[in-house]
């Protein structure tokens, strides 16, 4: 079998863990499998690199940030190749440049366009385990790019698609996908299987267990994807198009602490104001999620919306520069908020779900600051320091223990 495996940061966190991964790979290789292995940077390396950059240049260019961040993954693959060598298994590490993993040019948030498979195939034919750096690519300027935090999952799935692998396995520090982050919600239930769509919704709304683009790609190419633990042999969670078990009303709860709220005050209350504001943001590729517009008075109104924390600096700059043009009085960015979402395809046809969410939050004294609903989700914006509590309350209202 041709298997693409990915090990996350914790799974390669130190020399012992790398040796452990190497032993697992050696066993799979000795069984006759062809292995392409994607690794993340060791432990908290990526965070540490970001902190180092901040010390030197708080506003560093995105190109140089990518150049810096891509080094983390290179350490992991080289060390793991060495560990395999020690076990007598031929192995070679390759970075995105050597493989040629072509991406768009957007530094810090690049997407794969095409992956060359020649070099990898060549190494597989030579019976080597091929270790590939996750999270990185090369753009048309021959510059290194990165795929956004957590992007190594996407590297693995993209490689599985390009190589038409038989299986793609994501090894991490939990033994499967749960109905909520098990570190925050102790009553969360492990799922044996989940549909691509459900996982895509959860991932997009903040469930960091899989990079959302990896799920998107897996669905697009029908990649059989399994998420499991690198530390135990427990069966993991299988992602697929359809699952056998009857669809639950709510498939899970996602928590996103990486959102900020922008409130723009004193916007002229007339047609076109909202358009001009959101058009400016859209042209600068700022994703907006929850939007609330207050009732106008004295010819003015206030609009609040949420953005990704990573975009806050850009939004701050854009709004400051365009205040006069857009005609608003002032704006503030609130960083102390979080978004809790319940996700489920069955919700649309069930009235009263929103009121149950509000009841759950009321029961634990959490104030709701903003709300948005769609066919498949209800999200509430709340204070960040109440987020874990809110997540547990909402989860337990809808999902009971077995
Ligand atoms: P890796 O470094 O292996 O990529 P991540 O930290 O990115 O690992 O993802 C695994 C973590 O995702 C888990 O430790 C868990 O805290 C978190 N998580 C969030 N939501 C879920 C969920 N629904 N199911 C399982 N884990 C989740
Ligand atoms: N090392 C990168 C990060 O920490 C990519 C990944 O782990 O998937 O975001
Ligand atoms: Mg991850």
Q: Give me the pLDDT at residue 401, please.
A: 62
User: Is 107 a domain residue?
Assistant: yes
Which band of pLDDT confidence, cut at 50, 70 and 90, is reported for residue 196?
very high
| Cα–Cα distance, 7 to 183 (Å, whole number) | 19
Could you tell me if residue 277 is inside a domain?
no
Name the least confident of 109-123, 132-146, 245-259.
Answer: 245-259
Q: What is the pLDDT of residues 302-326, one digit of tens each?
A: 999 999 998 999 999 999 999 999 9
Predicted confidence at residue 345, as pLDDT, reads 78
E strands, 109-205, in order: 112-115, 129-133, 136-138, 144-146, 167-172, 193-195
What CATH number is given to the structural domain containing 96?
3.40.1160.10
Reported confidence tier of residue 402, pLDDT bands at 50, 70, 90:
low
Residue located nearest, by CA, to atom 5 of ligand 2 = 150
Residue 101 is part of which domain span? 2-173
**Angle of CA points 285, 260, 52, to nearest 5°:** 85
pLDDT category at 131 given cuts 50, 70, 90 is: very high
Q: Whole-angstrom Cα distance, residue 251 to residue 399?
A: 9
Length of the chain equals: 402
Question: For residues 66 and 144, is the Cβ–Cβ distance under 8 A?
Answer: yes
Give the closest residue (by CA) to ligand 1 atom 9.
Answer: 209
Tell me the average pLDDT of the chain.
95
**Residue 316 in domain:** no
Residue 246 has pLDDT above 80, yes or no: no
Q: How far is CA 392 from CA 67, 121, 210, 242, 325, in A?
A: 39, 47, 20, 27, 44
Task: Evaluate whether residue 122 is within a structural domain.
Answer: yes
204-239 pLDDT per residue, tens: 999 999 999 999 999 999 999 999 999 999 999 999
Q: Is residue 115 part of a domain?
A: yes
For residue 304, is it within any domain?
A: no
Q: Which atom of ligand 2 lies closest to the CA of 152?
A: 8
Would you give the DSSP letter of residue 384? G
Nearest to 91 by CA among 83, 102, 99: 83
Q: Is residue 183 in a domain?
A: no
Q: 40-82: per-residue pLDDT in tens? A: 999 999 999 999 999 999 889 999 999 999 999 999 999 999 9
- Ligand 1, pocket residues at CB < 6 Å: 8-11, 40, 150, 172-174, 177-178, 180-183, 207-209, 252
Per-residue pLDDT at 249: 80
Specify the pLDDT at position 247: 63
Q: Which tokens in the block code for residue 54?
A: 């901040």
- Residues 184, 22: Cα–Cα separation, whole Å: 31
With 80 as the cut, is the pLDDT of residue 94 above it? yes
What is the per-residue pLDDT across 10-51, written as a single tens digit (0 to 9) for each?
999 999 999 999 999 999 999 999 999 999 999 999 999 999
Residue 33, φ and ψ in degrees, nearest 5: -80, 150
Exposure b/e, 271-290, CB count within 10 A at least 16 = b: eebbeebeebbeeeebebbb
Sheet containing 300-308: order of strands: 291-293, 300-308, 259-268, 330-334
- Is residue 41 a part of any domain in this protein? yes
What separation in Å is there between the alpha carbon of 209 and the centre of ligand 1?
3
Tokens of 308: 């990704």
Q: How far is the CA of 266 from the centre of ligand 3 (A)?
A: 41
Domain count, the chain: 1
Q: Give the Cα separation of 207 and 177 in Å (integer).
A: 10
């Amino acid at each position: 079998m041709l298997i693409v495996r990915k090990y996350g940061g914790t799974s390669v966190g130190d020399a012992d863990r790398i040796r452990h991964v190497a032993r697992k790979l050696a066993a799979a290789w000795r069984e006759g499998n062809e292995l392409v292995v994607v690794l993340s940077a060791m432990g908290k390396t990526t965070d540490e690199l970001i902190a180092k950059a901040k010390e030197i240049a708080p506003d560093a260019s995105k190109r140089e940030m990518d150049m810096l961040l891509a080094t983390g993954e290179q350490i992991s693959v080289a060390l793991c190749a060495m560990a395999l060598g020690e076990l007598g298994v031929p192995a070679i590490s390759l970075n995105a440049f050597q493989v040629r993993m072509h991406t768009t040019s957007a530094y810090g948030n690049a997407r794969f366009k095409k992956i060359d498979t020649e070099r990898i195939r060549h190494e597989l034919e030579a019976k080597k385990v091929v270790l590939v750096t996750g999270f990185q690519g090369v753009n048309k300027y021959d510059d290194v790019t990165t795929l956004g935090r957590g992007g190594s999952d996407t590297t693995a799935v993209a490689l599985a698609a390009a190589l038409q692998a038989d299986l793609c396995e994501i090894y991490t520090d939990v033994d499967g996908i749960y109905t909520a982050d098990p570190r925050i919600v102790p009553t969360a239930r492990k799922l044996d299987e989940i549909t691509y769509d459900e996982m895509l919704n959860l991932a997009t709304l903040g469930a960091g267990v899989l990079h959302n683009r990896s799920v998107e790609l897996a669905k697009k190419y029908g990649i059989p994807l399994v998420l499991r633990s690198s530390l135990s042999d427990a069966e993991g969670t299988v992602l697929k198009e359809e699952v056998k078990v009857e669809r639950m009303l709510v498939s899970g709860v996602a928590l996103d602490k990486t959102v900020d709220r922008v409130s723009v005050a004193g916007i002229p209350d007339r047609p076109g104001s909202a358009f001009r504001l959101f058009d400016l943001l859209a042209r600068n590729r700022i994703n907006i999620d929850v939007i609330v517009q207050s009732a106008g008075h004295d010819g003015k109104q206030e609009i609040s919306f949420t953005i990704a924390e990573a975009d806050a600096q850009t939004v701050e700059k854009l709004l400051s520069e365009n205040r006069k043009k857009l005609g608003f009085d002032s704006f503030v960015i609130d960083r102390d908020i979080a978004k809790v979402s319940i996700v489920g395809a069955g919700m649309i046809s069930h009235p009263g779900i929103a009121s149950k969410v509000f009841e759950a939050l009321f029961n634990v004294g959490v104030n709701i600051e903003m709300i948005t609903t769609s066919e498949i989700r209800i999200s509430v914006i709340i204070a960040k320091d109440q987020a874990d509590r809110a997540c547990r309350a909402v989860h337990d209202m809808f999902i009971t223990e077995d």
